[in-house]
Structure 1
Amino acid sequence: MIENRPWLTAVRHLVLILGIIVIGLPIWIALVASTNTSASFVSGVMPMWFGEEGLNNFRRVLTNEGRVLGVGVSASWMMWNSFIMAMVIAIGKITISILSAFAIVYFRFPFRRTCFWMIFITLMLPVEVRILPTYEVVASLGMLNSYAGLTIPLIASATATFLFRQFFLSIPDSLAEAARIDGAGPMKFFKDILLPLSVNNIAALFVILFIYGWNQYLWPLLITTDENYYTIVMVIKRLMTAGEGNVPWNIIMTTTVLAMLPPVVVVLVMQKFFVRGLVEQEK
């Protein structure tokens, strides 16, 4: 029987409250700063309560009124670029990974295990390590300043392949045998049995990979010089370095809040599937 210790309960609540403060304070500051005017930051002290310019700031940033973002495109267009990049990366990674895992688990071919470990070893080569040769390949193919250049080099995923492989290995062989007896071919077995069983895992991976694609900064910064392909994360850094001593914090924080909204919406909408996918993966 668990003992009831009031002092221990108080310590737990204190730790939770401190954690919430540490995590929530930057978000609170961003929300508050996005509702104030630029004059509120002249003293160098960040305001801690809401102002009256929230709607005006969001309107100016979304439409890029008066080039407040320092570029020729609006935040709404850059959010669209980020959305395309995140969706293509997430869907592409899941598609390639689930097919790769299906082939590795259910097909018998020479060096099958070697192929898997070659895929798995690429986890030690993140984008930052292979960024120069990847840039050379993308430039040679004429994919600079394009959606293809933004997304294709980031599509392959060893992590997702590994997770799908582990999930497929947990599925009883009797399902594959029953499908084979019923005359189902490999792709029918994949479409009618494996995909429905993998829905929660796909949803959990989609949330993670969407956020991964949305938050990309270094790769879009490297391959895009055309403002029409800028992402919302890129412009935040540009605003912080283009102020020449007078940093427009209200515009920066408004843009930051806009950049946070889509990942938050995706997490909230798919929270149930995300949790189920993680629990099933642990099993």
Structure 2
Amino acid sequence: MVEKRGLSYWLTHLGLIVGVLFIFFPIWLAFVASTVTQAEIARPPMPLLPGPHLVENYSKALVAGVNVPVATMMLNSLVMALGIAFGKIAISLLSAFAIVYFRFPGRKAFFWLIFLTLMLPVEVRIVPTFEVIANFGMLNSYSGLILPLVASATATFLFRQFFMTVPDELAEAARVDGAGPMRFFWDILVPMSRTNMAALFVILFIYGWNQYLWPLLITTNPEMNTIVMGIKQMFPSGDDLADWPVIMATSILAMLPPVIVVISMQKLFIRGLVDSEK
């Protein structure tokens, strides 16, 4: 059957193209600004084509920065984002597995207590959380950046809902074959959940990469600054002049890891949101 492509088809695609260009244009301007000099940015009109200073500006950003090199801040953000993403997925998988497949008193009550924590984001509990981290001596450390943000009620809820759709015959067949609970978990449930884990990984990685308030609160050592903090620190205070080419180069560099994660996991991400593998 040949699909008819009428006017509405082409108008829809035209609207999508215009929307993409509208969203991409500021990013293109930031990239152009990262390849020219300060004088070219300050002198209107701003150029719309890349300049010859790309390598110079990006090299300056990577090795210079404000207090520490941008490369160090990007490494801190990468460790934090990966730790939060993997930690949330691991804890949520285990907690959802326990809630669905183990019968113990107060099982539903524990689940709803976990679910109620959705109303308590880190900004609400930031003072007691900071006190706990400080008492454990985890300020200015990767563990302090990651552990308070690891628990996820959303991921636990999503995995619980997925596990509840898994046929009970699978668990019964695993018991008949002599598989224990953890063998059933690792060999059956985890492979079946890989698209869900991929979708959550993309969301949680971006969540961890974009964190600003919590790293700002617990890091006093510049060597532990994240890239989001670094971009904010590059903006001048008072009468100082901003080095806009370096700021724009840093902003483009900060975009690359999330973009790479989204592009590389796009298929799994979409399948995890709209499909299942039962």
Residue of 66, 75, 81 corresponding to 1:86? 81
The code of the aligned residue for 1:208 comes to I
Instruction: Describe how 1:80-119 pairs up with structure 2 within 5 A.
Output: 80-119=75-114
How far apart are the structure 2 equivalents of 1:175 and 1:20? Answer: 45
Task: Provide the residue aligned with 1:25 in structure 2.
Answer: 25
Report which stretch shifted further, 111-120 or 14-23. Answer: 14-23
Give the 3 Å change call, closer, same or farther, for CA 282–179 of structure 1 in structure 2: closer
Give the 3 Å change call, closer, same or farther, for CA 114–241 of structure 1 in structure 2: farther
Matched, 1:212 2:207: yes
Report which stretch shifted further, 86-95 or 201-210. Answer: 201-210
User: Does the 8 Å CA contact 2:192/2:277 hold for their aligned counterparts?
Assistant: no
- Cα deviations by residue, 1:24-68 (Å, 9 ceiling, x for unpaired): 11211111111111112223654322111011111111111xxxx
Task: Provide the residue aligned with 1:55 in structure 2.
Answer: 55
Residue of 127, 149, 152 corresponding to 1:157? 152
The code of the aligned residue for 1:16 comes to L
User: Does the 8 Å CA contact 1:35/1:50 hold for their aligned counterparts?
Assistant: yes
How far apart are the structure 1 equivalents of 2:20 and 2:214? Answer: 32
Residue of 63, 71, 78 corresponding to 1:76? 71
How far apart are the structure 1 equivalents of 2:238 and 2:44? Answer: 14
Unaligned runs of at least 5 residues, structure 1:
none
Residue of 193, 198, 202 corresponding to 1:198? 193
Instruction: Describe how 1:1-283 pairs up with structure 2 within 5 A.
Output: 5-6=6-7, 8-43=8-43, 46-64=46-64, 69-71=65-67, 73-242=68-237, 244-280=239-275
Q: What TM-score do the two structures reach when normalised by structure 2? A: 0.94
SS of aligned partner of 1:216: coil
How far apart are the structure 1 equivalents of 2:184 and 2:80? Answer: 31
How far apart are the structure 2 equivalents of 1:266 and 1:243? Answer: 37
Report which stretch shifted further, 106-115 or 41-50. Answer: 41-50
How far apart are the structure 1 equivalents of 2:225 and 2:118? Answer: 27
Q: CA deviation at 1:183?
A: 1.3
Aligned pairs, number? 277
- Cα deviations by residue, 1:65-113 (Å, 9 ceiling, x for unpaired): xxxx221x21111111111101111111011000000000000011111
Give the 3 Å change call, closer, same or farther, for CA 10–51 of structure 1 in structure 2: same
SS of aligned partner of 1:196: helix
Q: What TM-score do the two structures reach when normalised by structure 1? A: 0.92
User: Does the 8 Å CA contact 1:104/1:116 hold for their aligned counterparts?
Assistant: yes
How far apart are the structure 2 equivalents of 1:34 and 1:243? Answer: 23
How far apart are the structure 2 equivalents of 1:144 and 1:261? Answer: 28
The code of the aligned residue for 2:58 comes to F
Identity across the alignment (%) = 60
User: Does the 8 Å CA contact 1:38/1:250 hold for their aligned counterparts?
Assistant: yes
User: Does the 8 Å CA contact 1:35/1:250 hold for their aligned counterparts?
Assistant: yes
SS of aligned partner of 2:223: helix
Give the 3 Å change call, closer, same or farther, for CA 95–243 of structure 1 in structure 2: farther
